[in-house]
A and B are shown apart, each in its own frame.
Chain A
């Protein structure tokens, strides 16, 4: 068996099954850090990772009667957590769909050939750029890109002219592109390369 429970853990799991909250807390202390780290790797968000830890341990408490003390507990946590992560990942992917489209739009407008790995940086940075937009512009942009409303729909909804809406969306796109690419995709590329090297150097 790969993940054999040590003797203390076997005892804690038996106690947990009996409803012992102190044993539960010991297991929480032992695994929450690892689980948090793992979830963050996949969900790329500290907040989401925290939620996974919470939900997973609540589930463990709820289902404590069904835990098999002969099976590795580490594996049990993994199974519970991954199911939670799966749901969260897919929900988020749906929400983030517009960011992928936006990426394509921005690339079309750019004359530079994109570096493949840019995408991960883009995904990490685009939210920040959207947040930086002025309030009204941000609202229009999100209605259009994220909620998928058409320009005439937004115009009616906000009681503004379609021309204004279009201008706002164009301005928003430009601001995001400028923010992301720092007006020059090569500048960002260089920065990323430097960062990567820095990380590699640190590791070695």
Chain B
């Protein structure tokens, strides 16, 4: 046995001869000698340090073991165990999310190549906020409160975007290909320009205002085909299905992007809607008679209360702010405002 021990020792120390090597093989091969070898190695294992710090590739190894366990546990699903499920979902999220993202990315890329279908991105700007956006072609713009903008992740040929709500576009000119905004059935086709489109579903009008360049506004199924020149504004009435064009400073209509809130002879009903959106609050007009009172004002960076007080000065209304209720989850309800005729 002494010889064998010597051979094992030499082998472990990496200073072994051919004879030592062949001895190791035969020790491992035969069951009875394996038991001896086991006894020796057990001592070696025992004498080893109490604990060697995790190896270099510990994390990679751990991941591999986790993956294997996950795979096997999924195969034997059924002997469910809360903790295990929790763990599995933890690994699953950890491992699968990047994988999913990559898969989706490639899938979409591939699908797009395969079918020519387009992948869309969507921006939503919640009430009370406005945000700037940049499109993949270098065009940019502003999205107003409570508005959606849907656009292809990659533009190819003619550029098409969909809008619900209000947005100002600064379109970059491209040699081949127009830029088209689809909004509530209206098509606004532009070459390099700066223009504003307002098309909220709850608003009876769609408005297109042009600052620079030129746009063409059409609507399928109607004879609407209007080319605008700078400082022209088109108002399309959804109810009458008719458009009218007026000239003048369109700056008012696009100034929201710079933080201005501009009303030019806007009926109070619409003022209420726009203020609700702008300040993320709920404004209720309690008397129908008030709804058609025209209103004219410009605000910038004013609080809702200040706007209301100015409104009350220039129109025959009074208003009441209802104290916001505190919800169970610690958030406040939307600010509510009641508008009544002045006594």
Interface residues of A (CB under 8 A from B): 2-3, 19-22, 25, 28-34, 36-38, 41-42, 44, 50, 53-54, 57-58, 61-62, 74-75, 78, 82, 86, 89-90, 93, 100, 103, 116-120, 123-124, 196
Contacts and interface: CB of A to CB of B under 8 A. Distances in A.
Interface stretch (B21-29, B146-154, B214-222, B284-292): B21-29
Contact of B34 (A86, A118, A120): A86
Given A82-B38, A119-B21, 6 more contacts: A19-B84, A28-B62, A53-B61, A78-B42, A93-B25, A117-B10
B20 to A, nearest CB: 8
Interface in B1-56: 10-12, 14-22, 24-25, 28-29, 34, 38, 41-42, 44-46, 48-49, 51-55
Contacts of A58: 65, 68-69, 72
Contacts of B16: 117, 119-120
Contacts of A31: 51
Given A89-B28, A116-B17, A2 B58 contact: no
A29 B52 CA distance: 10
9 contacts: A2-B46, A3-B46, A21-B84, A25-B62, A38-B44, A41-B12, A58-B65, A89-B28, A120-B21
Nearest to A36: B55
A44 B48 contact: no
B87 interface: yes
Contacts of A21: 69, 83-84, 87
A50 B57 contact: yes
Contacts, number: 109
Nearest to A104: B18
B168 to A, nearest CB: 53
A103 to B, nearest CB: 7
Contacts of A196: 15
Interface residues of B, number: 43
A90 B51 CA distance: 28
Given A34-B49, A38-B45, A58-B68, A44 B55 contact: no
Question: Lowest 10 A-B CB distances belong to which pairs?
Answer: A33-B52, A21-B87, A116-B17, A34-B52, A119-B18, A36-B55, A33-B54, A120-B16, A93-B25, A117-B15
Contact of A38 (B15, B29, B48, B84): B48
Q: Is the interface of A mostly helix, strand, loop or mixed?
A: helix
A151 B331 CA distance: 84
Interface of B: 10-12, 14-22, 24-25, 28-29, 34, 38, 41-42, 44-46, 48-49, 51-55, 57-58, 61-62, 64-65, 68-69, 72, 81, 83-84, 87
A83 B65 CA distance: 19
B86 to A, nearest CB: 8
Contacts of B22: 100
B18 A54 contact: no
A30 B57 contact: no
A27 B83 CA distance: 17
Nearest to A50: B61
Contacts of A62: 72
A202 to B, nearest CB: 14
A54 B61 contact: yes
Nearest to B50: A34
A54 B83 contact: no
A89 B19 CA distance: 16
Nearest to B55: A36
Given A33-B51, A34-B51, A28 B65 contact: yes
Nearest to B17: A116
Nearest to A53: B61
Contacts of A22: 87
A100 B17 contact: no
A100 B53 CA distance: 35
A58 B70 CA distance: 11
A93 B20 CA distance: 13
Contacts of A75: 42
Contacts of A33: 51-55, 58
A54 B65 contact: yes
